[in-house]
Amino acid sequence: MSEEKKLIGQTEVINFPELNMEGVAARIDTGAKTSAIWASNISLKDEILEFTLFDKTSEYYTGEVLRTDVYHIRTIISTIGTKEERYGVKLLILMSGRKIRASFTLANRSSQTYPVLIGRNVLRGKFIVDVEDGHKLLKTKHNSKQVTEDLIR
């Protein structure tokens, strides 16, 4: 028996339980095939992928270097048709009461309002997105504490 689909808005607050990160603002994008998370200092050393989530300008930045030998490389095609190869990793998230292990590409999202983008790979079969009744979109980038407080209300 499958679980009932949950109704979510155009933005959500998500947690990364295995990384001890809570209250991260995420943009829901039904047009994106794959989810993405802001990462910096991405490098491959002796078949080990190293990266840091976010960067020093983000309140979520811890400076912790994450390392894994389980990763993939995915070609991402933007809405304007440009192609970019990105590393991808699987992360456990908690969103709207559901735990989901999903693939995230590592991307420089420093110029984006939301540090995390949730795509169809997370949404399919689990959520229904209602943008009309969803949370308001942010007008400024990196105001995450205020965003999280607004989203929780």
User: Over the stretch 54-104, which tens digit does the pLDDT of each residue have?
Assistant: 999 999 999 999 999 999 999 988 878 889 999 999 999 999 999 999 999
In a domain, 148, yes or no: yes
Confidence tier at 136 by pLDDT (50, 70, 90): low
Confidence tier at 125 by pLDDT (50, 70, 90): very high
In a domain, 1, yes or no: no
Q: Return d(Cα 92, Cα 78) in angstroms, integer.
A: 25
With contact defined as beta carbons under 8 Å apart, do 118 and 16 qualify? Answer: no
> What's 38's domain CATH number?
2.40.70.10
Q: Which phi and psi angles does 86 have, rounded to 5°?
A: -135, 150
Q: Return d(Cα 114, Cα 107) in angstroms, integer.
A: 12
3 token code pair: 């679980």
Count: domains in the chain: 1
In a domain, 126, yes or no: yes
Q: Return d(Cα 4, Cα 15) in angstroms, integer.
A: 21
In a domain, 112, yes or no: yes
> Do strands 6-8 and 127-129 pair parallel, antiparallel, or not at all (unpaired)?
parallel
In a domain, 130, yes or no: yes
Is 149 a residue whose pLDDT tops 80?
A: no
End-to-end C-alpha distance for the chain, whole angstroms: 32
